[in-house]
Chains A and B, each alone.
Chain A
């Protein structure tokens, strides 16, 4: 039966255009796996009774506070600000290749942090984040080339568009769990790749480049060019560098704040046990969905900045499983899953390795693979994860420490 439906859909697709045949197949697969996972007539869900007035179980206890920061983390907060300020002024003294490496590190670390939030905390193993990176890139190109928006403004707009698109995509893929979830995220990414290959205004299957005129009068370009005394191509890169720096700072600060908040507490509970978390009232689905949309927004942002820098986009590059998901998983795993520090360290290692091994051809991938296996065997929690466990050092602590004072309030 499934074969017949698939065959009919593909032949209808083939009538329109040979490429639509593959697309139609994917869409049918996606629709069926998503809409009919548990039979035709799922049970209706009864509305929930209103909560009863809660009982006050405990008498007023001793005053207590929940602390998060540690001495190391307070020192590191200052160090982090110094690092960010130094990076902010880096274009004044850093060479162009160094700036390009830093841009790549920032973007990969940001993607890795988002993937880490999903897989490390929310238990969402997605192998389809390239869908949102690619959509971010294409949204940017469409905004610049079709709608004529300024490139700098187009970056956040593209990310917003991706976040909006992730809502319907999410409501489809969230019907699946575990391995099925992973498969469906990948299929969804492929659907977007095939769809955008049909968009002739943006080059179809072969892709397109941003015309020089489109970025020539970008906001701030002339100012930067005069300030640093560089030509417009270098000035454009400085603006992109700052956008990438802004992104990574936003992502690190955002995840840190999130993990220390009430939602973060719920997220950390979900990671350890979803049933137990639901049993104490954590809205697991809502939190996971919010993380998914947040991650899509981030991937869109990264895609927009990356493809603005390369100025060229094609469906295969934009929706590359290897670049935007496989490498990202590698970065998170060697750095340390479920930490903020890990993905940043992983991204630095990845880019340094890539540069060091760029002359060795296929050896590059072999070394990456060996390193991945070695880390998994010797430091299964990742480089930072095991270091942190061994030394007790947390640069971004999220744990809440209870301090109960000695005096009882009612004894005063």
Chain B
């Protein structure tokens, strides 16, 4: 197990963003997360990466308890993440954004940092913007940069938060191919996405969140046909439909 959550709970006043969540992710797995807006998907990422500290429960990374460990140490322990609302370093260029991650991430200060960043930029479709200020990027490119920067830290597990929205069909194909490649190289993927067809072409397992609770977990085909999921996420009430 590369990632293991046990009984993770987080409340903001009366709102429960994570309600006793148990989750195990195996090394090399590709896991998808879906759920309506406000279901607690991004909060779950924040709990895993350390932006939020859970009220109860533990987060284990590769067998180590990281529940109260800093963001930086979790990064060095192998978690990379993209933010749903992109947080690029706006006064740095796209290349420098990756360079920060490459030099401070896991294999910090390695000699080939320039080549390494250049290669990620080419493969995420950002090479032409390498020397543009990140603050001047379009939303689409900001999302690409989020993923590229997460990968530049050389993570073992990467958490992707809604990166396919707004892409053309061709761009979506490219993205899916790229994420598959990353996964094939042994990087574990956890991907939150509303573009379900893109998600399903990558992941081998799907979980569904509703009001901070995990309501389904399993093989994507079966999960998508689960009546409760159809009601919660797709808004299809089987009884009314029948």
Question: Interface residues, chain A, CB within 8 Å of chain B?
Answer: 43-52, 54-66, 262, 265-266, 268-269, 271-273, 275-284, 338, 399-402, 404
Contacts and interface: CB of A to CB of B under 8 A. Distances in A.
B66 A46 contact: yes
Contacts, number: 176
Given A57-B154, A280-B152, A402 B118 contact: yes
B95 A265 contact: no
A214 B130 CA distance: 59
Given A44-B68, A62-B115, A279-B71, A51 B77 contact: yes
B42 interface: no
Interface in B49-71: 49, 51, 53, 61-71
A57 B115 contact: no
Nearest to B64: A49
B98 to A, nearest CB: 9
A66 B72 contact: no
Interface string B161-203: 0000000000000000000001001110000000000000000
Nearest to B27: A52
Interface string B79-103: 0110100011111110111011101
A268, A279, A402, most chain B CB atoms within 10 A: A279
Contact of A281 (B63, B76, B90): B76
A46 B67 CA distance: 8
B187 A57 contact: yes
Given A48-B77, A265-B96, A278 B119 contact: no
A66 B114 contact: yes
Given A46-B67, A275-B87, A402-B114, A58 B106 contact: no
B145 to A, nearest CB: 11
Nearest to A286: B72
B55 to A, nearest CB: 11
Contact of B87 (A62, A273, A400): A273
A338 B91 CA distance: 11
A400 B113 CA distance: 12
A58 B119 contact: yes
Contacts of B216: none
Contacts of B114: 64-66, 402
Given A51-B77, A57-B182, A404-B130, A275 B69 contact: no
Given A57-B185, A279-B49, A46 B69 contact: yes
Given A46-B67, A48-B73, A402 B104 contact: no
B212 interface: no
A276 B87 contact: yes
17 contacts: A49-B61, A49-B62, A52-B77, A57-B120, A60-B115, A64-B114, A265-B99, A271-B91, A272-B92, A273-B87, A278-B72, A280-B75, A280-B80, A282-B100, A399-B96, A400-B95, A400-B99
B117 interface: yes
Contacts of B73: 48-49
A51 B156 CA distance: 10
A52 B63 CA distance: 11
Contacts of B67: 46
A265 B103 contact: yes
Contacts of A66: 95, 99, 113-114
Contact of B105 (A48, A56, A280, A400): A280
A273 B75 contact: no
A267 to B, nearest CB: 10
B89 A63 contact: no
A404 B101 contact: no
Q: Which 3 A-B pairs have the closest CB atoms?
A: A61-B119, A49-B64, A48-B73
